[in-house]
Each structure stands twice: as C-alpha cells, then as structure tokens.
Structure 1
Amino acid sequence: MSFPKMTRLLSLRSLTSVHQQLLLPSIPTRLVPSRTLTQNEYRRPGKPRENLPPWLKIKFDLSKGLEGIKKHFALLKKELTDPWVGPEGRPLIEHMLEQNRVVWEFRGPESLEQWTLSSDREIGGQSEIHLKLGRNNNTCFLYGTLCSAPPKDGETRYSGYCTVRSKQPLASFDRKKHHDWSSFNSLHLRIRGDGRPWMINIAAETYFSHQKDDIYNYFLYTRGGPYWQDVKIPFSKFFLTHRGRIQDDQHPLWLDKINTIGFTLGDNADGPFQLEIDFIGVCKDFAHTEEFAYEKYKRNPEV
C-alpha cells in the first residue's frame, strides 16, 4: 500500500472514532422519544395510559360469538335484499317524495341503547348525567347535575360538561354505516328544556385520520316551561370545529356521510339540568335556499 493511501485510511478511521466518542454519546439513546408516522390517540388529562397488549383486550365467549354470527348474517341478508326494493329498502317513489323523516324516536327501552353518555367524571370531575324514558315511555328524559370545579390533578384547568351522543350505525360484520340526509336541508327537533343553552354536535365521515375529531356544531336554545318546543335548524348554519376550536377553513357539512349526532351542556352554570326529547328528524324546507352561512377562505386565492 502506498503512503498517500495509508494516510487517507488513517485519517478516515480517526474521524470515525472521534464521531463515535464525541457525537454519539451526546444523544443518549434512552432519552430519544419514539415517533410514529400516524397521530397518536388523544388522551384526556388525568386519564391513565393503557399499556395492555392488544390480545388481552379481547374477550373470548363462545355463546356471544354464535349470537354475533347470527346477527351479522341477518344484517348481510338485509343488505343484499334492500337494493331490490329501493334506496334503504323502501320504494323509489316514496324515497323521491319524502320531505320529512324521523331518525330517532324514543318509544321503548331499546331506543335508549342507541345512545351513550359522557361527562367530566372521565377526567375526575363531579358532573353527573343520566338518561331514562319519560312519562308513558314516549320520550327521552335527560337529566343530571353540572359542576364546573376542575379536578385537583395538577393538569386539568377547565371542567364542567355533560354529553349524550348517538352510536355509530354499523352494517354487517361491524362495518361503518352512514346516515344519508342529502335529500334534506334542516334538522327538526321536538324538545322541552329548562332554559339552558345546549350545543348540537354532528360528526361526519372524513378522508384522513387526523380529521377524526372534526365536528359540526350549532346552538340549541331551550325556552323552559311546560310547553313543547319545535326547533328547525338548517344544516347550512353548522360550523366546523376541531376539539372545541372553531376552524378558519370552513366548508359545508357532508349530508350523505353522517355518523353521529350529540348534545353537549357546558354553560358554566352549576346546578341541576333536564332536557326532554320527543324525536329527532330531518326535513326539507323549500323556503331555505342558503348553501352555507359562513365565509370560506382559500389557501391560494385566485388572481
């Protein structure tokens, strides 16, 4: 080996040793956080992390599995036969002339199984919310107590909310199913409240996983008193939020990909509350021609 090649080889080895001794120890391996390509699941403050492996979360039950197989094959049979009758299993002429549709009505204990309750007790708060059938089992009665005192965990600064939300409709074998409200332009409610303002939340299907917390909101003002209140809210009035923050990039609600609807109370007025719901439906208001009530910004405006 010639002398210039030997000198070049020794210089490269010396630089490699210096890099290993000086640069690498300055970044301890155990302190580097692991990064993933997808967004991590949101964890509420005060809620412990779940470190269980996936196979421990599965509950094996033979009888429950047989009931599930029977249920899913019945749903699959319905999915295959409904298109021969018409859209959503109804005649085509009925679908074309439909102007009103009742989506949720409360006429028995099985109707309450389509809803889930949530409150700040999940993060250590003191609010309570309950759901039961009203008088004569013909309405849904939502009641509880709101408390805005935050939990003393050192992390949570705000508290005081109660929420009821419909469950995601599922097709056979637990595939996602959506509500198609593209033939309607307004939400129709028949309620009886105590004068508190509520927030209506509508969640639609999204293209990307980081948009899974996008929700459309609008306000529901109850009058209070013993009389029922018919409320019609156009879908064009709903605005886009992400985890409670109003977004600058607004766009209309996708009415053919509706997943869930919910009601949230968080007016910072501590004390009891109640809300009675007769039905939740959609309607076609021909007097309403507005497409979207809010300004839509463009990232790259046209010149």
Structure 2
Amino acid sequence: MASILARTLKNYNGKCFLAHSLLSCPVICGSRTSFYGEYRRAGQPRDNSPPWKKIRFSFAKGVEGVQKHFGLLKEEILGRWVGPQGRPLKEHMLEQTRVQWDFRGPDSLKQWIVSSDQEIGGRSEVYLELSKNISTCLVHGTLCSTPPRDGETRYSGYCTLCSRRLLSSFDRKKHIDWTSFNTLHLRIRGDGRPWMINIATETYFSHQKNDMYNYFLYTRGGPYWQDVKIPFSKFFLSSRGRIQDNQHPIWLDKVNTIAFTLADKADGPFQLEIDFIGVCNDRAHTEDFAYELYKRNPEV
C-alpha cells in the first residue's frame, strides 16, 4: 500500500508528497489538516548531517551583519515616530496608489529569485536581467516539459520569478500591508503566453505553509506595453497546485511574496518584461470575493 501511495501522490511540478510522512502521521479529518514532508529529489540520499555542521563561521561577516542589523533597528525606531512605515500619517491615509517593486538599477534585481524545473532534474532555463534602458527587467529563457528520467517524476516544465522575503532587523519577519488597496497593478510586455500570479501570505499553522493565492496573467504580445489591473477579490486559494474547496478572500495585512510562474506546456523560448508592480485602490470595484463560500456544518 505504501509503494502504491508513493507512486501516485505527485503534483504538477513533479514535486511529490512524501508517503512515509503521510503514513506516519495520525489520521485527521478535514482537507486542510494534512502534514507534508520536505521535498527530496528521487534518487538522492537523505541529508542526516547535524545542523551545526552546516553553519559557516566568519568573524568579518559577523561584524558586518551586526552593523547592518543595528542600522535597520535604528531606522525602525526612528520611523515609528514619523508614522506607519516611516511616513507621515496623513500621507499614509490619503495614499491611493503604491509602487511596491520597480526595476531602476542593478540593486533592484537582488530582490528577486528565479527558479525552474532544473531543481528536480528538468531542462527548462530561466534568466533575469535588466533591459537595455536599465529601467525595466526582462525574464527570459526556454521552457521544456520533458520530465527527468528518474523513474518517479511524471510532469515537468515550469519557470518562476519570485520576490525575496522582506526581513527587518535581526532577520525578523516583515510583512507587506495592502489593506488600503483592492487591486494589483502591473505594467508588462509579454510574448502572448499566459502566466500565473502567486501571492503568498503569512499563515497561522505550519501545514498551511504551501498555501498561495493565484490568478492568471494573460499577455497580449507585440511591441506595446500592457497595463494590467487585477482585483484581489479574483484570487483563489490553492495548496501545492491544488485548488481548495474551502475558499476565502486573500489576507492583505500580511503579504510575504509575489511570484510569476510559466507552465503552459508549450516548449520553446519565452520572455516577459516588467516595468513595475504596484497596488491601487479602485473605487469603482466593490466586489468582496468572486467565488462561492461554503459553510461547514450548516444549521438545520
């Protein structure tokens, strides 16, 4: 039974649920209470080395890190006297639009991470670089849906651009607050391929770490720029690529990352140019949530 379960529990990206972790944990009712193990590529030995052997000690980096974190702590303390996020309260209350990420220099690329199915043995390639005018970023590469020959992975072919997690002083978690806005605003120029926008928020339980809010980004192609506005009410909840039955609106008070994923099974080159990623408050949009909400244990 365990061998059958290990072969069948796979998701679209080729990342499999570990069967031994599912079988060893107690059976708990409910679709959102399953515990998943960390992904390990098929055929690779398990890393059983103790955690202290993975730490690299360096006195110079330690001093540099202390100076960096105390500088961030000083900015946080002084910023609270000015207002939320270091801005005056009046400016924060009247804010209607905000550019969260732009690409105006080489330092802006350090806020992003690119990945592909090469992590699981695939052949897709993805690169991130600044455009010739040094004011936009260009995500380009080649998509290949041929799965690796490891005997277990059945599906492959994806490329992802993901923002780095924001950290405050001493590597404390820092969240993005979008409660004053209701629409995601992007200025892009693509090649006609459909992308998936993934927004990750802070969760309350460890088994929800793979939860994401998704929606589609359709590019027109051609030489002209495209302004895209997507209301947050259109985003739906998924976990490990599976759309959940129990849907709820996105939690905008603790946003962690935003990502763009290409997995349309069309092998060949691709490119996506991004000018900025921001949010706005569209007063004409009054929808709270676009999908049906099911009530558990309804009253009789």
State TM-score, norm by structure 1.
0.87
Mapping of residues 237-248 of structure 1, within 5 Å:
237-248=234-245
The residue aligned with 2:163 is 166
Aligned-pair CA distance for 1:39: 4.1
Instruction: Check if 1:41 corresponds to 2:37.
Output: yes
Amino acid in structure 2 at the alignment position of 1:41: G
Question: Given the alignment, which residue of 122, 127, 145 partners 1:125?
Answer: 122
C-alpha distance in 2 between matches for 1:186 and 1:193: 20
Residue identity opposite 1:46 in structure 2: A
Taking only aligned residues, the RMSD between alpha carbons, in angstroms, comes to 1.7
Partner Cα distance (1:44, 1:161) in 2: 18
In structure 1, distance between residues paired with 2:251 and 2:36:
26
The question of whether the paired residues in 2 share the 8 Å contact of 1:47 and 1:123 is answered with: no
| Equivalences, count | 272
Partners of 2:38 and 2:292 lie apart in 1 by: 30
What is the rounded CA distance, in whole Å, between the counterparts of 1:172 and 1:81 in structure 2? 13
Deviations 1:3-38 (A, max 9, x none): xxxxxxxxxxxxxxxxxxxxxxxxxxxxx9995799
1:234 alignment partner, one of 227, 231, 234: 231
User: What whole-Å deviation, never above 9, does each CA across 1:58-96 have from its counterpart, x for those lacking one?
Assistant: 111111111110010011111111111011100111011
Shift of 1:100: 0.3
Match of 2:110 among 94, 110, 113: 113
Q: Which residue of 1 is the match for residue 136 of structure 2?
A: 139
Report if the CA contact (8 A) 2:36-2:207 is conserved: no
Q: Given the alignment of the two structures, is residue 300 of structure 1 paired with residue 297 of structure 2, yes or no?
A: yes
Structure number with higher helix proportion: 1
Instruction: Give the alignment partner of residue 202 of structure 1, picking from 199, 202, 208.
Output: 199
Task: State the SS of the aligned residue for 1:111.
Answer: helix
8 Å Cα contact 2:43/2:150 also seen in 1: no
Residues 1:178 and 1:152: Cα distance change in structure 2 (over 3 Å): same
CA apart distance, 1:268? 0.3
User: What residue ranges of structure 1 are gaps of 5+ in the alignment?
Assistant: 1-31
Of the three residues 170, 176, 179, the one matched with 2:176 is 179
Give me the identity figure in percent: 71
**How far, CA to CA, are the matches of 1:160 and 1:152 in structure 2?**
14
Q: Which moved more, 1:53-62 or 1:125-134?
A: 53-62
Gaps of 5+ in 2: 1-19, 27-33
Give the distance between the partners of 1:302 and 1:84, measured in 2 at CA: 49
1:237-276 matches, cutoff 5 A: 237-276=234-273
Match of 2:16 in 1: none
Alpha-carbon distance change, 281 to 165 in structure 1, aligned in 2, over 3 angstroms: same
Q: Say which SS state the counterpart of residue 85 (structure 2) adopts.
A: helix
Greater Rg by CA: 1
In the TM superposition, 1:213-232 aligns within 5 A as 213-232=210-229
Kept after mapping to 2: 8 A contact 1:239/1:250 = yes
The offset of 1:233, in angstroms, is: 0.2
Counterpart-to-counterpart distance in 2, 1:47 and 1:81: 52
Distance 1:116 1:160 in 2: 17
Deviations 1:106-152 (A, max 9, x none): 00111000011110000000000000001211001000000000000
TM-superposed CA distance for 1:50, in Å, is: 2.3
Q: Which amino acid aligns with 2:108?
A: S
Aligned mate of 1:67, from 53, 64, 70: 64
